[in-house]
């Protein structure tokens, strides 16, 4: 049997060998970065080198990088800091990740959604009008707009949004968890006041992430304790995880500086999309700029979970655009926000990465076409019966 195909990098990337080696090395070094002795200093050196490497990936000054337990915590640190600084109303795009949505709704302050158009891009006219009638009693405006969507790969107009937010003296938080490692990021040029990334989406380990902050954002103390991370997040640092993150960031930065490679991978994705479209699939966000690795397709009447299970049986691992809960297909809120109607229960997310090959994409398409034919054959008598 041919080896399994992994095309689910947006869920978690295959760990890069450089990251695995760095994790092992940090375990070998040992030491607590807060200790003053030789082992402690060696551990501290690993953490600070990783901070520099992670900062380089997002073109941020190293001292502004705060390590967290992942993208979820980095997003929460930004939101909670803005609220601690007086924000009483949060504007979040309708396609933000659950870690933004749920944290915002649990925060107790008012939350409003920035609508997106059919291609999944935030409506900046809406944002501009909303900021123009901002009530000062709501504190500084806080806006969360992700750099790229986890389901569709659609890249948001963040720099344009930043101009609007800055003119209103607001705080722009950018969830760059999916964009990192797939496109070049300059957090300052983007105009982000805070920006979150996560190690496991770029080939590092799970359970470690980072938040960078600019001069207009004041971070609050998320965890009390030993004063680590300049007092912002107490607790002994996850040195192996952080060292693996740094190594993954370094390798990733090298990889995305090779445009030929990135374009080649996008071409495999696009060729796959053409074959699926010929069978009736719709590419979500096709009209918008998208991450080069991500394909989100929706096929009328072909439920997400049916597709994922059929592909898994064929040895191809991808994700549903919609989650299946208690046997019921839940619509994808992202595709629903884009106005895709019933197609929101039929999405499939296919995402490649550093170790993916053209053969992987071809295996995916072959398996998908087979599954689709079987599905269409099962439906044919029912459709005939209707007429």
Q: How many residues bind ligand PLP (CB under 6 A)?
A: 14
* Dihedral angle sign, alpha carbons of residues 321, 326, 379, 313: positive
Supply the DSSP string of 27-67, one letter for each residue: HHH---TT--SHHHHHHHHHHHHHHHHHHHHTT--GGGEEE
Q: What value does the CA radius of gyration of the chain take, rounded to a whole number of Å? A: 22
8: contact with ligand PLP by CB under 6 A:
no
Out of 90, 146, 185, 338, name the contact with ligand PLP by CB under 6 A.
146
68: contact with ligand PLP by CB under 6 A:
no
What is the smallest separation between the CB atom of 360 and ligand PLP, expressed in angstroms?
21
50: contact with ligand PLP by CB under 6 A:
no
Region of 18-26, 171-179, 185-193, 329-337 interacting with ligand PLP (CB under 6 A): 171-179
Task: Tell me whether residue 296 is one of the annotated catalytic residues.
Answer: no
- Cβ proximity to ligand PLP, 64 vs 68, nearer residue: 68
- 180 bridge partner residues: 183
b/e per residue, 257-295, with b = 16+ CB within 10 A?
A: eeeeebeebbebbeebbebbeeeebbbbbbebebbbbbb
Out of 31, 71, 191, 347, name the contact with ligand PLP by CB under 6 A.
71
Whole-angstrom Cα distance, residue 360 to residue 362?
Answer: 5
- Cβ proximity to ligand PLP, 130 vs 182, nearer residue: 182
CB burial class (10 A; 0-12, 13-18, 19+) of residue 324?
A: middle
Our CA dihedral for 370, 371, 373, 378, rounded to 10 degrees, sits at: 150
What is the smallest separation between the CB atom of 241 and ligand PLP, expressed in angstroms?
11
Check if the beta carbon of residue 99 is closer than 8 Å to that of residue 71.
Answer: yes
Locus of tokens 């439920």: 303
Out of 154, 162, 177, 296, name the contact with ligand PLP by CB under 6 A.
177
77: contact with ligand PLP by CB under 6 A:
no
Out of 205, 209, 244, 321, name the contact with ligand PLP by CB under 6 A.
209
Q: Which residues contact 371 (CB under 8 A, 6 or more apart)?
A: 306, 307, 310, 311, 314
Out of 58, 65, 72, 302, name the contact with ligand PLP by CB under 6 A.
72
Catalytic-role residue among 324, 329, 355, 369: 324
In the chain, the N- to C-terminal Cα span, in Å, equals: 42
Check if the beta carbon of residue 90 is closer than 8 Å to that of residue 82.
Answer: yes
150: contact with ligand PLP by CB under 6 A:
yes
- Cβ proximity to ligand PLP, 55 vs 310, nearer residue: 55
Q: Residue 107 corresponds to which tokens in the numbers above?
A: 């925060």
What is the smallest separation between the CB atom of 110 and ligand PLP, expressed in angstroms?
22
178: contact with ligand PLP by CB under 6 A:
yes
99: contact with ligand PLP by CB under 6 A:
yes
Region of 37-45, 71-79, 221-229, 366-374 interacting with ligand PLP (CB under 6 A): 71-79
Out of 101, 198, 228, 293, name the contact with ligand PLP by CB under 6 A.
198
Residue numbers annotated as active site: 324
Binding site for ligand PLP (CB under 6 A): 70-72, 75, 97, 99, 146, 150, 175, 177-178, 198, 200, 209
């Amino acid at each position: 049997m041919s080896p399994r195909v992994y095309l689910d990098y947006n869920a978690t990337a295959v760990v890069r060998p450089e990251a695995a080696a760095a994790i092992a090395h940090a375990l070998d070094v040992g030491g607590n970065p807060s200790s003053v002795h030789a082992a402690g200093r060696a551990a501290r050196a690993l953490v600070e080198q990783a901070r520099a490497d992670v900062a380089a990936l997002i073109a941020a000054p190293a001292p502004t990088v705060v390590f967290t337990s992942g993208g979820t915590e980095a997003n929460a640190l930004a939101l909670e800091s803005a609220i601690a600084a007086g924000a009483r109303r949060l504007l979040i795009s309708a396609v933000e990740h659950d870690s933004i949505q749920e944290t915002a709704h649990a925060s107790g302050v008012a939350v409003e959604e920035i609508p997106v158009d059919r291609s999944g891009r935030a409506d900046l006219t809406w944002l501009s009008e909303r900021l123009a009638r901002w009530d000062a009693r709501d504190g500084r405006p806080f806006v969360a707009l992700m750099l790229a969507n986890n389901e569709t790969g659609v890249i948001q107009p963040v720099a344009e949004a930043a101009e609007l937010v800055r003119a209103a003296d607001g705080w722009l938080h950018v969830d760059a968890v999916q964009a990192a490692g797939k496109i070049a990021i300059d957090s300052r040029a983007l105009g982000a006041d805070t920006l979150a990334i996560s190690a496991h989406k770029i080939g590092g380990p799970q359970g470690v992430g980072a938040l960078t902050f600019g001069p207009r954002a004041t971070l609050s103390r998320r965890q009390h304790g030993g004063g680590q991370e300049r007092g912002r997040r107490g607790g002994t640092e996850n040195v192996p995880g952080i060292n693996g993150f740094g190594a993954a960031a370094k390798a990733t930065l090298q990889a995305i500086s090779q445009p030929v490679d990135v374009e080649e991978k996008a071409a495999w994705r696009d060729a796959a999309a053409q074959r699926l479209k010929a069978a009736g699939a719709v590419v979500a966000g096709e009209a918008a700029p998208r991450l080069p690795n991500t394909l989100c397709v929706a096929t009328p009447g072909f439920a997400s979970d049916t597709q994922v299970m059929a592909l898994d049986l064929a040895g191809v691992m991808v994700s549903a655009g919609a989650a299946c809960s208690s046997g019921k297909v839940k619509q994808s809120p992202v595709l629903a926000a884009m106005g895709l109607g019933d197609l929101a229960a039929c999405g499939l997310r296919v995402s490649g990465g550093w170790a993916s090959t053209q053969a992987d994409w071809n295996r995916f398409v072959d398996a998908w076409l087979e599954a689709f034919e079987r599905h269409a054959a099962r439906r044919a008598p029912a459709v005939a019966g209707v007429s």
